[in-house]
Amino acid sequence: MNVDAVVFDWGGTLTPWHTIDPHECWLAVTGDEVHAAALRAAEDAAWLLSRDEHRSATVEQILADAALTLTDEQLRTYYTWWDDHSYTDPQVPQLFQALRDRGLRVGVLSNTIWPRIEHERIFSRDEVNHLIDGAVYSSEIPWTKPDPRAFAAALDAVGVTDPGRAVFVGDRLFDDIFGAKRAGMRAVHIPHSVIPTAQTTGVEGQPDAVIDQLLDLLPLIDGWM
């Protein structure tokens, strides 16, 4: 057996991709066009920092950069606005269980500005949180994918010391595939997301495999094992 863990990206991988308008989200939260525009600009700047310097950010930092504060109720509105766009792919419970039945550990590594508690709320809502052995959210570390330190943190979280014994699954050829390959992992691409051009770099990793749907991972990993 030569695979110990499978680590998944979140958005566009464990959740089917949705193209959303960030301004619409912030407008729903603040009810104010000017504030929404300031928050959108601060969020765009945070994602550029992630793309170009692989530095992470948090919702709190975005609020500070926009020189705005939100009430607890507005923050709740922000997170629940995403509820329709964050549902877990229906294949995930069966997939995670099947991986665990094979003795593999299941991990998550997400570039995200959200705190862990919101991600765990979503995973619990969709009844998969108990199937995750370790998760790293970039909001909790200084780096984002593709920085090798982000991948190292995820491997740590699932107790893997040899990256060659871990598989990464993601929807982005730079953040996920280039990053995982450079970190010494095997990489599987699930190519259904419409990645905004502003979030791409022209640098693309070469995946070890491409799958059409999440459950196609099982025969692939069985072959590797």
Number of residues that bind Mg ion (CB under 5 A): 4
Measuring CA to CA, how many Å separate 207 from each of 61, 83, 118, 169?
Answer: 33, 30, 30, 9
Stretch that binds Mg ion, among 1-9, 71-79, 95-103, 131-139 (CB under 5 A): 1-9
Nearer to Mg ion, 12 or 205 (CB): 12
Tell whether residue 171 is a contact of Mg ion (CB under 5 A): yes
- Strands, E assignment, 76-171: 105-110, 134-137, 166-170
Write the DSSP symbol of residue 90. Answer: T
> Taking CB under 5 A as the rule, does residue 9 contact Mg ion?
yes
Residue of 34, 39, 33 whose CA lies nearest to 62: 39
**d(Cα 76, Cα 72) in Å, to the nearest integer?**
6
Asked if residue 217 lies in contact with residue 6, where contact means CB atoms within 8 angstroms, the answer is: yes
Nearer to Mg ion, 9 or 147 (CB): 9
Task: Give the one residue of 5, 7, 11, 66 binding Mg ion; rule: CB under 5 A.
Answer: 11
Residues 35-74 vs Mg ion: string with x where CB under 5 A? ----------------------------------------
Member of 3, 4, 12, 144 binding Mg ion (CB under 5 A): 12
Using CA atoms, how far apart are residues 144 and 104, in angstroms rounded to an integer?
25
Phi-psi region of 69 (alpha: psi -120 to 50; beta: other; left: phi over 0): beta
- Contact between 207 and Mg ion by CB under 5 A: the answer reads no
Per-position x/- string for 113-152, each x denoting binding to Mg ion as judged by CB under 5 A, each - no binding: ----------------------------------------
Q: Which stretch binds Mg ion (CB under 5 A): 4-12, 31-39, 82-90, 205-213?
A: 4-12
- The minimum distance between CB 110 and Mg ion, in angstroms, equals 8
Question: Segment contacting Mg ion (CB under 5 A): 84-92, 126-134, 167-175, 216-224?
Answer: 167-175
Residues 167, 183: Cα–Cα separation, whole Å? 11
Looking at the DSSP bridge assignments, the partners of residue 209 are 188
Interface contacts to Mg ion, rule CB under 5 A: 9, 11-12, 171
